[in-house]
């Protein structure tokens, strides 16, 4: 149905280019227009209520109406609405926030650089790696490794780190030159050999990583390894037992940095303050964003250890400046909101809350969906999880992508008052606001279960899946 001519939807169709959207099909389907939020719920312009099962984009950790964050922004706007951090300038919110992040880091860090998004942060970290190696007289040490199905952002360099086809096709990504190397996805469900245990699978992946490092020039040419503790947009992929332990041993052998992308996992999502702590990672560089400000304002951070900082310092001394930064790096209003966000996490014991409610969500996911005929795998930890749809549980066979089962489940979800997101292999992600209660988790998953049953009826009628 075509939206009324002067409606929000019609004006959107006429004027807005949406990210991650089929722009041609959108001209017919139009948007879902959201007008307000309260707690874990949002409301559209028709007044319909939805539980946000993905906290927007994995990010509205304190929900959609936290008055303290609103007040923090207003207070800072009145005091100092903007100042920059170029050429040795600073301001108190940026200083305070950097100090708070260093205090909370999962490994010993030295300095913090601020950006505006996870993409910018990963792009900045990449430039730091290259810059420091040039400064230290290692001009060949530039190759960076990430994983297939990884997501590290969408600037051209960050998209080159990302390992998802849609982020490469038609964009001429990865950037030419052979500096970006993608290795295997640590997803036991799909990638393990028959009978291969998680530990054996992890050993094989580490051996394959080492073989690839040697092939790409070893310690002389290989600089860093990027990883999300738990892969988000690739489908909420939980690495096999001992995986990061074995990977880090390989990286140490070849003098490669570990860059932890905590954009999704950071600030309690996994049941620890950092995903690194949940998965046993000691990073040299840590990238964070999203829940840093509960996404009320755009801000991201890159934390670096002393060795990385010293490389940057040497280079900037030789050049006369470190020629990188953004107009809004450490923006005082965004920093003030982030400071208040971190204070709230401490006051409400967000890690303890997620550990308790996350255990409930994981149990509910498995009890409701493990035996569902359309679900191949249920996975997750803390308040992040996924169910992966299948047309054949025994064969672990995806539903024909042309049938768009994931998108159809999202549509059923909207009808039933829950916002979902479909990812690769029709995996449906769950990453609700961290403040969600057990009762709200139960209600959210009840709406999902109703939506999944509706999809099963559709597919049975179309003879797509044996359900």
Asked whether residue 248 carries a pLDDT value surpassing 80, the answer given is yes
Residue 140: exposure state from Cβ atoms within 10 A (0-12, 13-18, ≥19)? exposed
Per-residue pLDDT reduced to its tens digit, 343-360: 999 999 999 999 999 999
Per-residue pLDDT reduced to its tens digit, 415-432: 999 999 999 999 999 999
* Angle, CA of 217, 222 and 224, to the nearest 5°: 165
Asked whether residue 289 carries a pLDDT value surpassing 90, the answer given is yes
Asked whether residue 162 carries a pLDDT value surpassing 90, the answer given is yes
Residue pair 396/190 in contact (Cβ under 8 Å)? The answer is yes
pLDDT at 464: 58
When computed from its CA atoms, the radius of gyration of the chain, rounded to whole angstroms, is 22
CA-to-CA distance for 453 and 459, rounded, in angstroms? 10
CA-to-CA distance for 243 and 252, rounded, in angstroms? 14
Q: How confident is the model at residue 11 (pLDDT cuts 50, 70, 90)?
A: very high
Neighbouring C-beta atoms of residue 397, cutoff 10 Å: 13
Mean pLDDT of 433-442: 98
pLDDT at 5: 66
Reference 398, options 407, 406, 386; nearest CA is 406
Per-residue pLDDT reduced to its tens digit, 66-78: 999 999 999 999 9
Residue pair 260/276 in contact (Cβ under 8 Å)? The answer is yes
The model carries a pTM of 0.96
Per-residue pLDDT reduced to its tens digit, 228-247: 999 999 999 999 999 999 99
* Average pLDDT of the residues of the chain: 96
Dihedrals phi, psi of 47, to nearest 5 degrees: 90, 0
pLDDT at 463: 74
Q: Which domains does the chain have, with CATH numbers?
A: 32-65+350-461 (3.90.1150.10), 68-347 (3.40.640.10)
Mean pLDDT of 48-63: 98
Dihedrals phi, psi of 456, to nearest 5 degrees: -60, -40
Q: How confident is the model at residue 462 (pLDDT cuts 50, 70, 90)?
A: confident
Which stretches within 320-349 are classed as H helix? 332-348
């Amino acid at each position: 149905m075509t939206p009324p001519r002067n409606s929000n939807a019609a004006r959107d169709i006429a004027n807005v280019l949406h990210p991650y959207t089929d722009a041609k099909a959108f001209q017919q389907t139009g948007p879902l227009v959201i007008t307000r939020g309260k707690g874990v719920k949002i409301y559209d312009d028709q007044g319909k209520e939805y539980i946000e099962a993905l906290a927007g984009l994995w990010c509205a950790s304190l929900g959609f109406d936290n008055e303290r964050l609103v007040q923090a922004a207003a207070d800072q706007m009145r005091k100092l609405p903007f100042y920059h951090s170029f050429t040795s300038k600073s301001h108190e919110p940026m200083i305070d926030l950097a100090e708070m992040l260093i205090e909370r880091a999962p490994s010993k860090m030295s300095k913090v650089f601020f950006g505006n998004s996870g993409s910018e942060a990963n792009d900045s970290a990449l430039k730091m790696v290259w810059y420091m190696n040039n400064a230290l007289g290692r001009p060949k040490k530039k190759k960076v490794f990430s994983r297939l199905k990884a997501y590290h952002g969408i600037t051209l360099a960050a998209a080159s780190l990302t390992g998802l086809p849609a982020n490469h096709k038609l964009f001429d990504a990865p950037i030419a030159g052979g500096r970006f190397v993608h290795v295997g996805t640590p997803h036991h469900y799909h990638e393990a050999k028959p009978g291969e245990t998680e530990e054996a699978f992890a050993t094989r992946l580490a051996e394959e990583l080492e073989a690839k490092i040697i092939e790409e020039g070893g310690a002389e040419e290989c600089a860093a390894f990027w990883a999300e503790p738990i892969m988000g947009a690739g489908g909420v992929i939980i690495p096999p037992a001992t995986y990061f332990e074995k990977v880090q041993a390989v990286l140490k052998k070849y003098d490669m940095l570990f860059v932890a992308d905590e954009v999704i996992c950071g600030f309690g999502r996994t049941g620890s303050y950092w995903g690194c702590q949940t998965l046993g990672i000691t990073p040299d560089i840590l990238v964070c964003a999203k829940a840093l400000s509960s996404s009320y304002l755009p801000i991201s951070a890159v934390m670096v250890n002393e060795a990385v900082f010293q490389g940057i310092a040497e280079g900037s001394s030789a050049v006369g400046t470190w020629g990188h930064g953004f107009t809004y790096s450490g923006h005082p209003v965004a920093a003030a909101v982030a400071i208040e966000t971190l204070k709230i996490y401490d006051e409400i014991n967000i890690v303890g809350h997620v550990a308790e409610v996350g255990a409930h969500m994981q149990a509910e996911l498995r009890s409701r969906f493990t035996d569902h005929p359309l679900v191949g795998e249920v996975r997750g930890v803390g308040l992040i999880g996924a169910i992966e749809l299948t047309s054949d549980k025994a064969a672990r066979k995806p539903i024909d992508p042309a049938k768009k089962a994931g998108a159809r489940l999202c549509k059923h979800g909207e009808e039933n008052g829950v916002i979902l997101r479909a990812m690769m292999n029709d995996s449906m992600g769950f990453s609700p606001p961290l403040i969600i209660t057990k009762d709200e988790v139960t209600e959210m998953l009840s709406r999902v279960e109703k939506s999944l049953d509706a999809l099963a009826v559709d597919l049975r009628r179309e003879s797509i899946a044996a359900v």
